[in-house]
Structures are given as structure tokens and as C-alpha cells.
Structure 1
């Protein structure tokens, strides 16, 4: 008997009740996390256990993920690097430096708007936008 993974269903489950933002901020990931942690009183830390590895053009590419868990909530923030050595985690969004996924709890529109406004106030940030699931072609690349 052969079992087959249904990646579309996995992606749907993974992205159920999530919100995703794209960010243009041409700085190193650790610098950006430091700025977020300082200004927004967050505690983003790198999580090497969920780093994403893609194999393209006969080599491996590694996309780091920083994680912050909201205290007293099941909401978790994940900040993905969208590029590594000239390759992109989501090639359809080459202009984005970071992807910010909110997962684990419902995220109200006003909470997201306040977060977008706060991120925009950071000097190195040139653009912040919400990405809808329909716009993402390579959703599977975000699943860890």
C-alpha cells in the first residue's frame, strides 16, 4: 500500500487562520529583529530547528526563521528571510526581504493594522503589506 502526501491539504491546514505580511527592509535579519524587539517590545529569536532548506540549481539554500511567542496566548510570530545567496523563498515576491507569519490564534484586523503601522515606523522599513493566501504561488515553501 502506498501513502501519498496531499501537499495542498497540508498547506491549507498550515495556513488556516494565519495572516502574512511582506516587508521590504534592506538590512540583515538580525539587525531587523533587533529593531523589532527594541521598538515593539517583542522577543524575536532565531529558531534553527525550523529553518527552511530548499534544493535548487544543484545546491541547498537555507532560509532562517525567527520566532516570537506571545505571552498568555497561542499566537506565534514567524519572521522568514525571503532570500539567501540570490535565491528566494517566495520567488513571486522577489522585492520582499522578509515575510512575517502570524499563526496559532485568530488575528483581528485592528491588531494587524496596528502592527503594520508600528513596523512602518522603523527607519529601515520601506514597505509593509499584507499578503493574501491567493497571491502566494509557492505556499509550500513556508511550511516547516
Structure 2
């Protein structure tokens, strides 16, 4: 008699695959997510829109927490921008970065260093932005929370 096979999902491989060809910015800007997106859209000519289908849901302390994700597909490229809200009702998507309000993930196409510097400079020009920093994969302990 054959025993049923057990399939095990390899979260590390899935997470590593998700983060190939990505760059991530952490942003401290104590304002509503829709306000911050409006500023980005207005200043940088992007078109961030909320995408409820990829909203991140985490269960902690017998409660569900929902972290909004805004998305922008850059025309004529494979580059997609994702803006995560790092806070919801006192909980954090990435608890190791409690001081950050937003996480901006660039995925799908390479971003050159000079272009990234220009983006960071533009974000810093938004009134209310206190900090913009690039995060490395090694700094992020809870990468799986960003995978949708």
C-alpha cells in the first residue's frame, strides 16, 4: 500500500524568488497613506493605486491586521512599484522597522543607483517626510510579510 505524499512549501525559496531584482526603500512620513500616495503621484508623475487583491493580512494576538498595498506598473517596462503601509492599528508589517511608515518596493526591472538617488531626493522633498533610507535584504528579518 502506498502512503500519501506530503508536500512541504519552502517559504525561504519562495521569499528569495520574490526578492530577486528588487530594491526597497523605507520611508518615515507620518501621514495617511492616501495623502502620501497623492504627493508621490503629483510630484513624481507616478500613478499609485490601492490594490485590495494584494493587501497583506497578518494574524497576531488572535486578531487580524490588514496592511494596504498601493501598486503602480511603470509603462513600457517590467518595473512594478509597490508601496506598503507598515502600520495598522498599532501593529507593524515589519516590526524590526517600527519607525518607518511606508515601504516602497521596486520589482521586475533593475533600478540604477543614480535613478534611485533621484527618487530618494524627490521623496525627501515632500513636506512631512522625515527619513528615506534604502534597506538591504539582509536587514529585513520578516521578508515573508512582504510577499503577496
* TM-score strictly above 0.5: yes
1:83-116 superposed Cα distances (whole Å, 9 cap, x missing partner): 0000000000000000000001111111111111
1:26-80 superposed Cα distances (whole Å, 9 cap, x missing partner): 0000000000000111100000000000000001000000001111001000000
SS in structure 1 opposite 2:6?
Answer: coil
Distance in 1 between the 2:39 and 2:117 partners? 19
- 2:12 paired residue number: 8
Distance in 2 between the 1:68 and 1:124 partners? 22
Distance in 2 between the 1:113 and 1:8 partners? 30
SS in structure 2 opposite 1:140?
Answer: helix
Q: How many residues align?
A: 144
Does 2:128 match 1:140?
no
Out of 77, 81, 98, the residue aligned to residue 73 of structure 1 is 77
SS in structure 1 opposite 2:40?
Answer: helix
Per-residue deviation at 1:130? 0.1
SS in structure 2 opposite 1:31?
Answer: helix
* Structure 1 unpaired stretches of 5+: none
Out of 75, 100, 109, the residue aligned to residue 113 of structure 2 is 109
- 1:47 paired residue number: 51
What is the TM-score when the length of structure 2 is the normalising length? 0.96
What is the TM-score when the length of structure 1 is the normalising length? 0.99
Distance in 2 between the 1:126 and 1:115 partners? 15
Distance in 2 between the 1:2 and 1:18 partners? 32
Bigger Rg over Cα: 2
* Structure 2 unpaired stretches of 5+: none
